[in-house]
Structure 1
Amino acid sequence: MDRSALSATLSAKLSADLIAKLPLLPTIARLAADRGERVWLVGGLVRDALLGRASLDADITVDGDAMALAKAVADEAGARFVALHDAEPTARVVLDGVEYDLAQWRREDLSGDLRARDLTINAMAMPLTVDGLGEVVDPTGGLADLRDRRVRACSREALADDPLRTMRVYRFFAELDFSIDEDTRAWVRATAPGLADVAGERVLVEWTKTLATSRAASALRLMAEDGVLALVAPELAGSPHAPDVATPEWLDAVAWFDAWSERLEKITPEAARERIANDAVLGDVAMMKTAAALAPATDGDAAAYEEVADRLKASAKFKQRGARTIRLMDEARSAAAEWRELVDEMRCKTPMAEDRRRLVAQYSATTGEYALAAAVLIWACEAVRGGDPPRRLDETHSGWIAYLASMLVGAVEPYAANPILDGETLMRECGVPPGPQVGRLLAVVREEYLAGCIDSPSQALAMVRGILDRESGSPSTSSH
């Protein structure tokens, strides 16, 4: 398809589809015309429309006062106005959850503004008028790069102006499944040292977006080859905590997680799969892949992970969740091994109900909200280390994960919300004083309930009284 045909196709698609999804665009066009200003859709919205990808946030370039135009649009539409930058006038208008970012030219004209952007595929624009959309403005060859599925920087200077853009090269490589232009890789190698001066919070945004893709391992491999990874996460090139991390094993662990969605689709029953898919800790993909990269060599030592999180100025949640998941590797490994023994003993994939229920009760008591995340992390680590044949390993672990998820949603979490015995009742009915003993006895009640050995408050109280009698060596004198 030639450039003219591509432009016509894109214009029609944006006019027919995206304007309907971005209802403020006609208002922006009309108010800009009233003010004698011109506006263009730019960047990701144009790129994604050509690729057939959904994009509901709009970047708009204005040849006049972007702040004033944005304020006028927000006032007329009853939308929220947010001033983003004063030095380089940029404002955001938010309506029904959709963001419209309006920015003033930062160069002498539109072509100069586009050429100063990061990548050619992000350096295209379309004029927005009251009559609709015009043809693509493409001063850097972005249309050809989209056609050839190639990530190419607009220039070496564009990368040097903001070294964070070097990471965007790998992010779009992974996100779009494109190749990277060789000149661009050379420019990245030359300008990446500037990342040392970029705020960690900004680096974290690109890091998490890259790791959220299904090609994270491939992107990290290229980052390692180009010297970028050593600047962002030197722990992956070896550290006092993880001297052997610089081996293919860590990349294999990330690649294993890249294919997690495919593994998840094979897990049954559906309720278990849904519980796994909605797990809050496991669902933090970037955190899990960062942990997976460091876990094989650190084997339960979370210090290297915490160093990466600190360098990237990650949130407390990102840091704590990843570190906690890594530190629970021993518990997760032991539980997986016990499940394997149960399977071997029964010579089938369904161990005896009480044994497997008790295993989940004990494991979940130790791991809490990290139960699934730690179990999946161990699966990944064992998969990249070898040992059991891959098919047997996957069958055993997928069976364990599926059963664990089923128990979490069907028993563990309902019990946590509504236990059959609380501390106040236990102390009143059994004469137990406040203190650690109450928690210990409640933990026993929980385990026996989840194992299927008791199912009512009266049975729980009877069991507790029996425990107290045995420990005291005489019958309990509490009320019966």
Structure 2
Amino acid sequence: MEDGKKDESPASAAQVLLNRLDDYLSGREIEAYVVGGYVRDRLLSRLPADIDIAVKANAREIASGVAEDFRGTFVLLDEKNDIARVVLNDGNSADVIDFSSFTGSIKADLLRRDFTIDALAVPLKAVREGFGLSDVIDPTGGRKDIENSIIRAVEERVFLLDAVRLLRAVRLAGEFGFTIEPGTEELIREYGHLIFDVPGERIREELLRLTALPHAGQMFRRLDRLGLLTGIFPELEDSRGVEQPGEHYWDVLEHSLAAVEALECILGEGDWVHTSGEVLDHVPLSDVIRQHLAAVISGGSTRKSLLKIAALLHDIGKPSTKAFDETGRMRFLGHSREGAGLVAGMLERLRFSSKEIKVIETAVNHHMRPMQLSQEGMPTNRAIYRYFRDTGETGLDILFLNLADHLAARGPELDIDGWKEHNTLVEYVINKRFEKEDIINPPGIINGYDIMKSLGLEPGPKIGELLEAVREAQVSGEIQDREEALSFVKRVIAAGELPARENDIN
């Protein structure tokens, strides 16, 4: 946008909404400004994601009136600081407008904000008319910092006043490809300990915004360099410097960070600089998988964003399970199960939803399973059935976490033939998942009542175990109909034991 020139871009849904807001507020003679992200994004020629309105009035009352007049939903965000939200949902998408109040001048209000690139405002009336640079109120040099791609704190107390800004600085730098200027980096290091005092739900929100972006792995590394990563996840500190067997190139923490970068490479969101470009040629990533990973799990999270967190935490159980066997070989027996338990507690602390925790916990618990499906050749139908029985829809996510784990374990010493074989196995399992529904969900040919009536058994857990044995026999082709199923159950009972369920390789 050049000085003196108006923004002539086509009216978007956001512009129409801002015009309506101008009608509503100007009709009530309320001084109002569009502030922060909307102005920044327009200056960057990006599609604005946020609409923040500063009003010289009671923001709660204004937001409540807008919600009623626009048929939206009113949400009180911060009663003490008079911040409220209006959510407008048309059935297809939702627009979110945040309202805050100021009592002095708008310049004074901007000087209380976090970073110069967000300490910008434009009168709402000017936005309606298509604002130019001369309309931008910029008391901190935000426009110049946008031009120079710099994240700069407005003042020294920025992080002291709100410590979640520590994470936001890193996320904004990653989102826009900006550099955090040295003085602001020093402030982050100085006040980094305050991250422990940030409410879990606010950290969760920033984490999900960060992992929704490409290059989240690089942002995790920056958080670690600044001392913030283990402020969010203190349990990760135990992974630092923990050596691994020879097939691993890095220690546990470096491997965990590399796993996020490897995952993003596999999903087409970043580069894997440690090996040749041939790596991506073998990954079975399809539009169906992309759609699956884009599925929303809970407010603000998708399968892909949660999978990145799972990649970061997948080996969190290794430090506490590290041991040496009688031959002196280093082992981490049970680290997946141990890690799943740790992860559940960590994410509860950060107020992740039960659905989100279940996805990540399942991924961590079973991240080794894909390579355990077969000792030689492709896995059997029974093994694939058991895998998806235990992992559900997250089984697809885990396949790609497992590939990322492989890539991050070998690093620059990757054996391309072994990598090809691994991808071939993953592709085989994916194809079975989508092309052989009778393997994943075998049709019911008998039920518990059939077993009890035919064999004179009483209700109890054993009935469920027998039905599960029948399903496994179905997918392996041993039985086809009700009569064969009942005969199978009789043989199982006569033998005195059920087929083992713990062994995935059969």
Normalising by the smaller structure, the TM-score range is 0.7 to 0.9
CA deviations 1:334-383 (Å, max 9, x no partner) are 12xx16x20xxxxxxxx4xxx53233123333444443344333332222
Cα distance in 1 for residues equivalent to 2:294 and 2:418: 21
CA deviations 1:228-272 (Å, max 9, x no partner) are 223222222226997986642221112112224226995266556
Amino acid at match of 2:372: S
Change (3 A) 1:365 1:389: same
TM-fit CA distance, 1:156: 2.0
Q: Normalising by structure 2, report the TM-score.
A: 0.77
* Correspondence list, 1:27-38, <5 A: 27-38=20-31
Cα distance in 1 for residues equivalent to 2:432 and 2:385: 9
Q: Normalising by structure 1, report the TM-score.
A: 0.81
* Correspondence list, 1:114-153, <5 A: 114-129=110-125, 132-134=129-131, 135-153=135-153
Change (3 A) 1:382 1:94: closer
1:21·1:56 contact (CA, 8 Å) conserved in 2? Answer: no
- Picking from 289, 293, 308, the partner of 1:289 is 308
TM-fit CA distance, 1:404: 2.2
Cα distance in 2 for residues equivalent to 1:93 and 1:313: 23
- Picking from 81, 89, 94, the partner of 1:88 is 81
Amino acid at match of 1:114: L
The residue aligned with 2:67 is 74
The residue aligned with 1:17 is 11
Cα distance in 2 for residues equivalent to 1:385 and 1:258: 15
SS at match of 1:153: coil
- Picking from 426, 430, 438, the partner of 1:401 is 426
1:237·1:246 contact (CA, 8 Å) conserved in 2? Answer: no
CA deviations 1:144-172 (Å, max 9, x no partner) are 22233322222222222112101101111
The residue aligned with 1:438 is 463
Identity of aligned residues (%): 26
The residue aligned with 1:478 is none
SS at match of 1:24: helix
1:41·1:60 contact (CA, 8 Å) conserved in 2? Answer: yes
Amino acid at match of 2:206: E
- Picking from 243, 255, 258, the partner of 1:252 is 258
- Picking from 361, 366, 389, the partner of 2:385 is 361
Cα distance in 2 for residues equivalent to 1:220 and 1:268: 24
Change (3 A) 1:175 1:454: farther
TM-fit CA distance, 1:45: 1.7
Change (3 A) 1:360 1:234: same
More helix by share: 1
Change (3 A) 1:468 1:71: closer
1:372·1:405 contact (CA, 8 Å) conserved in 2? Answer: yes
1:273·1:402 contact (CA, 8 Å) conserved in 2? Answer: no
2:35·2:52 contact (CA, 8 Å) conserved in 1? Answer: yes
The residue aligned with 1:380 is 404
Q: Gaps (5+ residues) in structure 1?
A: 343-350, 473-480
2:37·2:49 contact (CA, 8 Å) conserved in 1? Answer: no
The residue aligned with 1:26 is 19
* Correspondence list, 1:319-358, <5 A: 319-335=357-373, 338=374, 341-342=376-377, 351=378, 356-358=380-382
CA-based RMSD of the aligned residues comes to 3.5
- Picking from 65, 83, 95, the partner of 1:98 is 95
1:145·1:151 contact (CA, 8 Å) conserved in 2? Answer: yes
Cα distance in 2 for residues equivalent to 1:313 and 1:270: 31
2:156·2:187 contact (CA, 8 Å) conserved in 1? Answer: yes
Q: Gaps (5+ residues) in structure 2?
A: 245-250, 269-279, 319-334, 498-506
Farther off after superposition, 422-431 or 271-280: 271-280
1:272·1:406 contact (CA, 8 Å) conserved in 2? Answer: no
Amino acid at match of 2:124: L
Change (3 A) 1:216 1:95: closer
Farther off after superposition, 135-144 or 297-306: 297-306
Amino acid at match of 1:382: H
SS at match of 2:157: helix
Farther off after superposition, 459-468 or 194-203: 459-468
Cα distance in 2 for residues equivalent to 1:235 and 1:252: 18
Amino acid at match of 1:361: Y
Change (3 A) 1:418 1:124: farther
Question: How many matched pairs?
Answer: 450
Cα distance in 1 for residues equivalent to 2:297 and 2:437: 16
CA deviations 1:368-415 (Å, max 9, x no partner) are 444334433333222222298453344233333333233233445786
The residue aligned with 2:105 is 109
The residue aligned with 2:267 is 261
Change (3 A) 1:240 1:120: closer
1:170·1:223 contact (CA, 8 Å) conserved in 2? Answer: yes
Cα distance in 1 for residues equivalent to 2:137 and 2:194: 31
CA deviations 1:418-467 (Å, max 9, x no partner) are 43332223333454443344333322322233234544444434444454
SS at match of 1:12: coil
SS at match of 1:406: helix
Farther off after superposition, 86-95 or 280-289: 280-289
Cα distance in 2 for residues equivalent to 1:117 and 1:307: 34
SS at match of 2:213: coil
The residue aligned with 1:314 is 352
Cα distance in 1 for residues equivalent to 2:198 and 2:25: 35
Cα distance in 2 for residues equivalent to 1:265 and 1:118: 44
Cα distance in 2 for residues equivalent to 1:264 and 1:232: 35
Cα distance in 1 for residues equivalent to 2:355 and 2:158: 34
Amino acid at match of 2:469: V
TM-fit CA distance, 1:290: 3.0
Cα distance in 2 for residues equivalent to 1:294 and 1:33: 51
CA deviations 1:275-300 (Å, max 9, x no partner) are 56659699534443333223346232
1:235·1:242 contact (CA, 8 Å) conserved in 2? Answer: no
SS at match of 1:95: strand
SS at match of 2:470: helix
